[in-house]
Structure 1
Amino acid sequence: MRERNVVSAQTQLLSTVAPSQSPSFDPDLGVITPPSNGMARSAFARPVAPRARWRRRYLACLVLIDFVTALGASRTVVALLDEADAGFWDQRVLGGAVSAFALVTNLVVPLMWMTVLVAAGAYDRRALGRGTEELKRVARANVAMAATVSFLALGFKKDLSRATVAAIILTLLLYTLVTRALARVVLRRIRRVSQRASQKVLLVGRLSDAMAVHEVVTRNPGAGLRPIAIHLPHHPRPGERVTAPVPVYVGWDLVPLVQQLGADTIAVCGPASLESYELRKLAWQLEGTGLDLVVVPQVTDVTGPRIHVRPIEGLPLLNVEEPTISGLSLLVKSMLDRVTALVGLVLLSPLLVGIAVAIKLTDPGPVMFRQTRIGHEGRAFKVWKFRTMYTDAEQRLEALRHRNESDGLLFKIKDDPRVTPIGRHLRGLSLDELPQLINVLKGEMSLVGPRPLPTEDDDYRGDVRRRLLVRPGITGLWQISGRSDLTWEDAVRLDLHYVDNWSLVYDLGILWRTASVVLARRGAY
């Protein structure tokens, strides 16, 4: 069935090629080859990439939103000042400066803010919808706005109220961050539901490398990359059958092929995809076409500040730093964990008592369930949880082994008969995990980190053992990405990604996303 779908998709794409050309599809190999006369590569032929209408519309909406946001921020500050000082606005009327003041608040501030956003790259198409990168550029623009206002005030010798300037700058930042975050949520929602508003990508490279990239980018449609075809650098070996979820091409010139497919991005996958001189020529050909060229490095699951490009004599070197799993940041993380756990236990004490009473009234047995888990550096500890299963759950485990729906070191059943009725609700909202704040307070766990597993230390072998380099957490990248619906391989990959790239900002982002995942009850059983 899958091969039929691939052939159908390839045949459909063949019909979009100009009639003067006659590319052929080989069903035995599963690839599409170019016309017999080929397509001459010319340095002067510059086909223009298809205009991404979604990007123009999204950019226009952002410009309008940012202008209204800046206007709202300045008007908010004026309203607050007028409320705090009843004569604030009247003084400007009596002084004859009301028109100039209104012009500044209603036009100059918004236009200045828009100009600074443009200068900071907040409208750069490479940053649109990219979350932290987009918000970082907004924050840099806010700092630049404060510096610009201070410089102008000094240059024109204007006596500005520092409190008023600070209030406008901070309100601008807050309003813009909120509206940009909401716009990004809407954009990602559109991408997930309709697959629109995404970059159409041609993957170039060996089939294994291209399929690896295809799997990664299609795992999260909200990221905005949609592979539509694969181009192989070499013809398949005799007898080798090529199957893929998208059409596969071989022997084509890339720029004309991208134009025919309606793509706007070329992604070169793997080190053996193109020779260095071919990659350089391809970059030359893309000048003026509006096409994006992306080179996917061999280094995977490494992001953020650990990656730097260091050019030496025209050779771009990808510098990958060691993961930071110690130092001042780790100390700050530990202190924040314990303070937050202490405050959380105090504030949530009525809820914790209520859950304990509900468990005791609905099922006889202990309220708490304590189990040995493996933690930081392989040290065993007792994890605290509200009991969600019947007291004979361990005795019934062997009889249910054949129904295990998970793999690796996990044991999961979606409709586990050992779970009590009240336990299903607690698990659905992850309320059974709240007592682990005690483990966080004792320093055995963290708020964010890989989940501690009920297994022996000897079970952690090979790369999996890297999970133990950091403290286990109540929530983590695994939990916000699918929880129990993930395979063991995906869970390990996400945990190792967190260990290699963790930071305080990363932790805050995971905590923020945890709330929506818990409320939606995704993968909780």
Structure 2
Amino acid sequence: MEEPVRPLAADGISLPRFELKAVPAPPSADAALPEETAGPAETAAVSPKSHAPEWEKRYRLTVVAADLVAACLVIAISAFVIDRLAPHDMHAFGTALAVLCSLPVSRAWSPRVLGEGPEEYRTLGRGLITAAVLVALGGLLFGALEVQPWVFFVVPAVALVLFPQRYVLRQILHRKRRRGLCLLPVMAAGSAETVADLIERTRKEAHVGWRVEAVCTSSGHGEIKGVPVVGRLEELSRHVRRGGYRVVAITADQYWNPQRLQRLAWDLEGTSSEMVVAPVLMEVAGPRLNVSGVLGMPLLRVTAPAFTGGRRLVKEVVDRCGAAVLLTLFLPLLLSIAVAVKAGDRGPVVYRQRRIGKDGEAFTMLKFRTMVVDAHLARCDLEAANEGAGPLFKMKHDPRVTKVGALLRRYSLDELPQLFNVVAGRMSLVGPRPPLPEETAKYVPAARRRLLVKPGLTGLWQVSGRSDLSWEDSIRLDLRYVEDWSLALDMVILWKTFRAVLAGKGAY
């Protein structure tokens, strides 16, 4: 817990990719460009491979074609239905034009966002919102006041088709990547330690689509994690041009300074290589990061985490309304589970437990009882068999769990009563795990930041391994959520929660 908190990549949540000109070491007193970097003449002599991989072209073409066909089909069906009530032939054409123009303008088809998790959905949503605004403005401009159905029904209908369609295409891409296909060739350059960490992450999170194929280090020889070191850092641009790497990942090393990074960026111009620089001064990602030029310098602006404001108000409304709707839908299931728990051993149906919520305030969390009555009295006898990480107590085969309770735990059905906590405003649908009072007593200062927001029914750690995660990893993921929260991230976590629950993996 003494090491800096690093965000871990979860499924569908990309590894950090920052195009920053910021480096860990200050520039040397000598402001001249390094002589060892390849000059323009030498660089130009090497023919760059500027074409994108064929699979990347095919995937982008598939996404564009699928979006066009689906959007036009939805609009055509809507036109048939609406025009039978009130014929307005130009409305369908105008809506289709608005959608097909807004998507590319919003970068919804950019290769850099396709398959990139929340950012892909964010650009798609931005494009469809822009389309709705254009249709509304067009109606006002041309005096066609009958555009309301097209703004409030047709464009949302297009969204209901495009979002699941994009998800299906991404899942197909991710499956191929896990088989070693459709990966972007990466050249990594930095110290041996930071490059080794990057290689491990890309192998663990294959869905991100990076495969480190070559490395440049200060020594210029050997191999790291089975990846060959092809040269020294000052030879990087020549090796990139010869190898045609899609990504050039710069990791921490004392060699890098602003001048060398700038010269490298110049040398890579005209190639298909994307230069990404991993920040080392702060481990922050998401919407809090902005790059702006001040006094002729590119500066990284890090805004404060948003714990209040309009977005949090929207989250509060979505939480309470969503929980109320889910309780209504799950009412038959809740009653069936209650009967099964009661019939098991005639004990209480609901288990009440004190947990710590936002700002350290205690509240009573509700769960279906999954253990025998008075199970807490037997915990001391089981401490030696504890398999939990950190202050958590977990056992894969806990003898106190009932037969009904084992089934409920496997599919997290015992957590459903917490929807009442969400409706009451003590919990959120998505947030950090609600800790026990004895757990918070052992928190280091960094871990206490989990208490800045409401605990959640589900969270980033639940969709990234659940009980199989180490204590450090669960803390890192919870802190990443606290620091980089967004509505788009909430939607992704909620969707992936259903997949994790159905798989029943990592829950005990």
TM-score bracket relative to the smaller structure: 0.7 to 0.9
Shift of 1:346: 4.5
Q: 2:359 & 2:465 partners in 1: Cα distance?
A: 26
Q: 1:447 & 1:311 partners in 2: Cα distance?
A: 38
Show CA shifts across 1:474-509 (max 9, x none). 111111111011111110000000111123343233
Q: 1:351 & 1:174 partners in 2: Cα distance?
A: 27
Q: 2:353 & 2:201 partners in 1: Cα distance?
A: 35
- Asked if 2 retains the 8 angstrom alpha-carbon contact of 1:198 and 1:226, the reply is yes
The corresponding residue for 2:54 is: 53
Q: 1:332 & 1:146 partners in 2: Cα distance?
A: 21
Change (3 A) 1:352 1:117: closer
Matched, 1:411 2:393: yes
- Residue number among 128, 148, 164 corresponding to 1:178 in the alignment: 164
SS in 2 for 1:44: helix
Change (3 A) 1:147 1:393: closer
Shift of 1:143: 4.5
Matched, 1:229 2:211: no
Moved more, 290-299 or 172-181: 172-181
Moved more, 313-322 or 253-262: 253-262
- Asked if 2 retains the 8 angstrom alpha-carbon contact of 1:409 and 1:455, the reply is no
The corresponding residue for 1:136 is: 122
Change (3 A) 1:376 1:149: closer
Counterpart mapping for 1:132-281 below 5 A: 132-146=118-132, 161-163=146-148, 165-166=150-151, 168-192=154-178, 194-234=179-219, 243-251=224-232, 253-259=235-241, 261=243, 263-270=245-252, 272-281=254-263
TM-score, normalised via structure 1 length: 0.79
Q: 1:523 & 1:245 partners in 2: Cα distance?
A: 30
Change (3 A) 1:112 1:329: closer
Deviation >6 Å, runs of 4+: 38-41, 150-155
Shift of 1:56: 0.8
Change (3 A) 1:265 1:169: same
- Asked if 2 retains the 8 angstrom alpha-carbon contact of 1:325 and 1:469, the reply is yes
Q: 1:366 & 1:173 partners in 2: Cα distance?
A: 45
Q: 2:143 & 2:327 partners in 1: Cα distance?
A: 51
- Asked if 1 retains the 8 angstrom alpha-carbon contact of 2:216 and 2:231, the reply is yes
Matched, 1:120 2:117: no
SS in 2 for 1:419: coil
Show CA shifts across 1:382-440 (max 9, x none). 32211111235334333433333332112222222221111111011111111222333
Share of identical aligned residues, percent?
39
The corresponding residue for 1:512 is: 495
Shift of 1:144: 4.5
- Asked if 1 retains the 8 angstrom alpha-carbon contact of 2:49 and 2:242, the reply is no
Q: Which runs of 5+ in 1 are unaligned?
A: 1-37, 93-100
- Asked if 1 retains the 8 angstrom alpha-carbon contact of 2:355 and 2:363, the reply is yes
Q: 1:299 & 1:205 partners in 2: Cα distance?
A: 15
Counterpart mapping for 1:17-36 below 5 A: none
Change (3 A) 1:230 1:406: farther
- Asked if 1 retains the 8 angstrom alpha-carbon contact of 2:350 and 2:367, the reply is yes
Counterpart mapping for 1:323-338 below 5 A: 323-338=305-320
Counterpart mapping for 1:343-354 below 5 A: 343-354=325-336
The corresponding residue for 1:71 is: 72
Aligned residues: 468
Structure number with the bigger relative contact order (C-alpha 8 A, sep ≥ 6) is 2
SS in 2 for 1:267: strand
Q: 1:275 & 1:290 partners in 2: Cα distance?
A: 23
The corresponding residue for 1:490 is: 473
- Asked if 2 retains the 8 angstrom alpha-carbon contact of 1:47 and 1:256, the reply is no
Shift of 1:458: 1.8
The corresponding residue for 1:298 is: 280
Query: 2:448 corresponds to which letter in structure 1?
Result: R
TM-score, normalised via structure 2 length: 0.82
Moved more, 328-337 or 420-429: 328-337
Change (3 A) 1:122 1:326: closer
Change (3 A) 1:186 1:234: same
Q: 2:370 & 2:139 partners in 1: Cα distance?
A: 63
Show CA shifts across 1:303-327 (max 9, x none). 2221110112442101111111234
Moved more, 135-144 or 294-303: 135-144
